[in-house]
Amino acid sequence: MKNVIEKLNPLSPVPLYHQLADIILTKIRSGEYQPGARIPSENNLAKIYGIGRPTARQATDLLIRKRLLVRKRGSGTFVQKKQKEVALFSLAGTITSFHKKGISITTSILEKTRLIQIESDLENPFANRKAYFLTRLSTAEKTPVLIEDIYLDPSLFLGIDRIDLSGKSLSQIVDEQYYMQPTDGKQNFRIGYLNGTRAKNLSVSSDTPILMVKRFLNFAQAKNAIYSELFCRTDQFVFSQIIGGVQDV
């Protein structure tokens, strides 16, 4: 059976090199391009998809930066062998530590992603303007352990409210759908208490101390593009996070 050649759409607002990168990524995920396999040269990609070689180069460069492809001088461009990587900003450090101990963790959406107007708040970088907002709950061994309120830049993450984030890694979606990764970030820690719906969702009483974390993530495209407020139970687990290569416990 002949392979169907996907066509690029020059009328799409998505740049041609992004479209080609998406096609190559789909072929990697489907197994058409196996780990370690050589993909067509940039000249061949240009001929196949009717584009200039610089555009084909941009597409392969993008996937090389994402560590999905590797370029070998004199040999060509190859599919990178899968590497385990800790996501920078989705509690991946915590989730990894749970998994290493054989503890499964699940994530569910409490409030679906929507665009909202943020009220005045000295710490929230989106104060007095709009941002995408969602709330999710992480559960380990049938025990709720973490609630996250997440705010995202509406320009950088346009359309994220149409993506089902249930049980998915936010960092992976931002990386694969928006081709972005955070450059650095900071976290503020304090002890607080919950009541009402939040306390109920986390299965704690109003006098249970909760670790509260405010996290700011910067991207090359914008500072504080993702801001989140975390409410963590510490009565059963010790939380560990990795931000910008520095581990915080």
| pLDDT at 99 (0 to 100) | 59
| pLDDT at 129 (0 to 100) | 95
12 neighbors 20 (Cβ within 8 angstroms): no
pTM attached to this predicted model: 0.63
Q: For the chain, which ranges sit under pLDDT 50?
A: 1-2, 84-93, 243-249
Q: Residue 78 is inside which H or E element, if any?
A: strand 76-79
Distance from chain centroid for Cα 190: 25
Closest-CA residue to 88 (of 239, 216, 231, 221): 216
Q: How would you label 116-135 residue by residue, b for 16+ Cβ within 10 Å and e otherwise?
A: eebeeeeebbbeeeebbbbb
Domains (range + CATH), the chain: 16-79 (1.10.10.10), 92-248 (3.40.1410.10)
23 neighbors 66 (Cβ within 8 angstroms): no
Tokens of 137: 């709950």
| pLDDT at 91 (0 to 100) | 40
| pLDDT at 236 (0 to 100) | 63
